[in-house]
Amino acid sequence: MPPTLKDVAERAGVSRAAVSRTFTDGASVSLKMRKKVEKAAKELGYSPNALASSLTTGRTKLIGLVSNNFHNPIFLEVFDLFTRGLQDRGLRPLLVNLSDETDPANSVRMLRQYSVDGVVVASSTLPPGFAKAFRDAGVPVVHSFGRHASSPEVHVVGIDNVECGRMAARELARRGYTDVAFLGGPEAATSTQDRFKGFAEELSRHPEITLRHSFAEAYSFEAGRAEMLRRLKNNPAQAYFCGDDVLSIGALSAITGSGLAVPDDIGLIGLNDMEMAGWENINLTTIRQPIKQIIDSSIELIVSMLVAPDRYPEARLFPCRVIERGTLKPVT
């Protein structure tokens, strides 16, 4: 049988309450007592029971980490950084897949069944109503990679997707393309809408450039490849701004698989700068989203809300920049 709290108390010669206080964050215990209890626990190989502790403190230290885009490889990086960051702060991530969920109320009910202390909505495609539903239920929440608002209803951490669209447009104009297109993710996604809005607004300053647009069914390799294959059947554009890197990689596969070359025949620029974008066989020119900084900031906010759940909501925006590789022709 594993050692119990009672065993540690007997070995240390103290009360069980003293052992409990030693392993409870913020509890008052003298340095002498702490050393005595920790020594006994180490000798016995004792580890405190997190579930039992939650019954005493009313805190589970569970943070719901919810998303809906698990087929996008970028989220392997996102989840890795989130889970390690939360664990480093003594919290336990509870990963939840909302890919088939459309009702925010169902998501709230599911997370509350696990008595989570807080929720991070890690998605640029879930509507703002999902994060708001948690807030309305009294659950501390941060929307990471969410849509920017000047007066946010919940904490939002991310990028200015409209400005990213403008950046892509400026980059294509700078390189002399006169026939360009936006290949976005799902049309209903706010990230798709904002990136296209900025792209179109900036290109409206360049009447010499023709703009087209289309949308893929999902932010996925397969969807990006399928949509580009459709575009290739009917006079494709000279260059494409794809809604994110995984769409760009799917488009790249379609182009090269059709016997064309990138960037000689068609140029591509993506968004995110996921790890795969820098692989030698992909070498994607893209707009870098500072993922680690966004995640660190999101964790900082959710941790602060565990102490002050009524903290006034704020929006934190991080700047992006173009990472030049090999899928656009040189500046003329």
Burial class (CB in 10 A: 0-12, 13-18, 19+), 157: buried
HSE, CB side, 13 Å, CA atoms: give it for residue 129: 9
Contact of 82 with 118, CB cutoff 8 Å: no
**CA 227 centroid distance within chain:** 24
Task: For residue 114, count other CB atoms closer than 10 A to its CB.
Answer: 11
Tell me, what's the pLDDT at 101? 66
> Which one is predicted more confidently, 101 or 248?
248
Contact of 62 with 117, CB cutoff 8 Å: yes
Which tens digit of pLDDT belongs to each residue from 34-68?
Answer: 898 889 888 888 877 655 555 455 568 899 998 88
Which tens digit of pLDDT belongs to each residue from 184-200?
Answer: 999 999 999 999 999 99
Task: Decide the pairing of beta strands 321-323 and 286-288.
Answer: antiparallel
Tell me, what's the pLDDT at 166? 98
Q: Phi/psi at 104 (nearest 5 deg)?
A: -55, -35
Contact of 260 with 239, CB cutoff 8 Å: no
Burial class (CB in 10 A: 0-12, 13-18, 19+), 115: exposed
